[in-house]
Structure 1
Amino acid sequence: MMANGGLESLMSNPSVSRMAENFRNTGQTPSMADMMNNPELMDMARNMSGSAGSTGNAGATDSGANSGSSGAGSNPLASLMNNPALMNMARQFMQGNNGGSGSQQ
């Protein structure tokens, strides 16, 4: 369970609630592009990691690379969202690999 009410905070986000409701109704997981392009979700991940003052966009250049350690170990979701290698993989996936499972729009 996430500390500090993280799950409740996450589920109170309307975009996340819609994704969860869609999954519950259809069984289809949200696409990575939908999650990465959701500014509220990205801001929430940064805030949960304690790096709220970092760059405002996960798609920014390498300026976010140094912010990943500030919240390391405090929240698994935030740590993943602040991992520059994972963010780079996600950007590459969204830009050139949209034929994969779960990416239909």
Structure 2
Amino acid sequence: MSPLVIQIFIFMLVTFSLGIALGWLIWRFDQDAGQSADTVNTEIDFWRSNLEQCRFERDNEQKQLAAAHEEKNLLKRRIASLEQKIQAQAQAQAKS
């Protein structure tokens, strides 16, 4: 074999090896990019469901707060009416 044929064979072998290595690197980074896109979509779905759950809990807590305010106002009115009755009874006893 002539030295020229050996040199061409070595260059072809090196080119083939570099092509395989470059192809593997492109495939590897492309695969990582696809996984990161899936991860991003999964995170978005997680935060959306978490947001919906937080909104639901907030709505329930606001309803409970409104009910507590109504009960507070009712109790205040009952206390005020009982105080008026006690004062009326005290005045009636004072007159007697």
Tell me, yes or no, whether TM beats 0.5: no
Which category describes the TM-score, using the shorter chain as reference length? under 0.3
Give the TM-score normalised by the residue count of structure 2.
0.18
Question: Higher relative contact order by CA 8 Å / sep ≥ 6: 1 or 2?
Answer: 1
Structure whose CA Rg is larger: 2
